[in-house]
């Protein structure tokens, strides 16, 4: 799946989920972007929330809290420029239909939150942008995952354009997620879904699950990111990775990628000949001698006649003497 110039088939996309850890401060949001860059993130992701378009009017305390964390359209535009200067992909999750229209001019791909994975109008609105999309599936069973896939593929087929790319992100909607509830093996099941990129949105404490997810097929890894886990009582700080954690997570993910990189049979290691064997003289042999099996011994390196090529030697006459232990060469054999 390609997001901008980033190809998840070639490299795991590591997303620093900034969410609301800026707590409404533009300067804090910019600091988070810079720290994410230094920690090795490929992308930063925010949440675009208009409180009155997310929760009912009787949820007054919730609305007040969301307003404290709300960023304006101009501030999001500023943050998108900040991310671009830092060389990061800028992403944000829309939580209402109008925010899809606004973000369409800022993001190369969309992210849908677990709670909105059944919000059909939002899914269709995002699909209509014909941009790649990632959907967290923390609240979705297999039937709902199929529902999500059908919406996007139906829209993209109707548009008669190449499929922009759909990623289903395994996650568990518990904050934090206990280790024995992470269910990382489910990533292997997601990998069997046709034309779907596998991802993982991590809510566990620590970085181990995010690294292990790569070994189980995740091509996108999202981890909450903060400057200080104890900054305030806001829940997300405590389950986030700080810059040191995130940097170590990225280091381990890149190493995991190297371990998992397939080596093609036509690209053996450069040391291969030294570990192979060639036919050599088992004793001193004179010119004109006709070779038999008891004349051969197999020695390293594998730069001469390899095992299996005995027919090129047996019954053939030597053109010159060959000393004990010396590898046979083509020049030793009379044609």
Predicted confidence band at 161 (pLDDT cuts at 50, 70, 90)? low
| Structure token digits, residue 13 | 């996309």
Average pLDDT over residues 7-24: 94
> Would the pLDDT of 265 be above 70?
no
Which residue ranges form the domains of the chain, and what is each CATH number?
A: 10-260 (3.20.20.70), 273-335 (3.90.1210.10)
Q: Write down the residue that tokens 């944000």 correspond to.
A: 92
Contact 299, 278 (CB under 8 A): yes
Beta-strand ranges (E) seen in 137-196 are 166-170
> Can you give the pLDDT at residue 229?
84
Decide: helix, strand or coil at residue 246. Answer: helix
Q: Which of 16-25, 113-122, 290-299 has the lowest mean pLDDT?
A: 16-25
Contact 135, 112 (CB under 8 A): yes
Average pLDDT over residues 219-233: 89
Q: What is the pLDDT of residues 147-157, one digit of tens each?
A: 999 999 998 98
Q: Write down the residue that tokens 């229209």 correspond to.
A: 101
DSSP state of 318: B
Query: Phi/psi of residue 123, each to 5°?
Result: -60, -45
Cis peptide bond prior to 301, omega within 30° of 0: yes
Average pLDDT over residues 6-32: 94
pTM here? Answer: 0.84
Beta-strand ranges (E) seen in the chain are 2-3, 6-7, 13-19, 43-48, 89-94, 110-112, 133-136, 166-170, 197-202, 220-224, 278-281, 296-299
Predicted confidence band at 78 (pLDDT cuts at 50, 70, 90)? very high
């Amino acid at each position: 799946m390609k997001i901008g110039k980033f190809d998840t088939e070639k490299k795991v996309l590591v997303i620093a989920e900034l969410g609301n850890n800026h707590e409404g401060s533009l300067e804090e949001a910019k600091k988070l972007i810079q720290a994410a860059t230094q920690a090795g993130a490929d992308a930063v992701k925010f949440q675009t929330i208009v409180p009155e378009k997310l929760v009912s009017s009787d949820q007054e305390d919730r609305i007040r809290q969301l307003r404290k964390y709300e960023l304006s359209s101009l501030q999001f535009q500023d943050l998108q420029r900040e991310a671009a200067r830092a060389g990061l992909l800028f992403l944000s999750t829309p939580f209402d239909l109008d925010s899809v229209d606004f973000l369409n001019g800022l993001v190369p791909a969309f992210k849908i939150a677990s709670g909105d994975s059944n919000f059909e109008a939002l899914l269709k609105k995002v699909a209509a942008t014909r941009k790649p999309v990632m959907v967290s599936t923390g609240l979705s069973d297999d039937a709902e995952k199929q529902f999500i896939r059908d919406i996007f593929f139906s829209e993209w087929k109707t548009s008669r354009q190449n499929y922009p790319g759909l990623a289903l992100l395994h996650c568990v909607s518990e904050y934090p997620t206990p280790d024995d509830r992470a269910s990382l093996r489910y990533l292997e099941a997601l990998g069997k879904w046709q034309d779907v990129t596998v991802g993982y949105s991590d809510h566990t404490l620590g970085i181990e699950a995010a690294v292990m997810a790569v070994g189980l097929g995740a091509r996108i890894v999202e981890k909450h990111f903060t400057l200080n886990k104890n900054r305030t009582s806001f829940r997300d700080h405590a389950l986030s990775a700080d810059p040191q954690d995130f940097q170590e997570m990225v280091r381990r993910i890149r190493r995991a990628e190297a371990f998992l990189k397939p080596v093609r049979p036509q690209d053996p290691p450069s040391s291969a000949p030294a570990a192979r064997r060639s036919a050599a003289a088992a004793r001193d042999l004179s010119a004109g001698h006709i070779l038999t099996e008891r004349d051969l011994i197999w020695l390293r390196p594998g730069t001469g006649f390899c095992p299996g090529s005995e027919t090129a030697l047996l019954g053939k006459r030597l053109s010159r003497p060959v000393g004990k232990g010396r590898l046979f060469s083509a020049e030793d054999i009379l044609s």
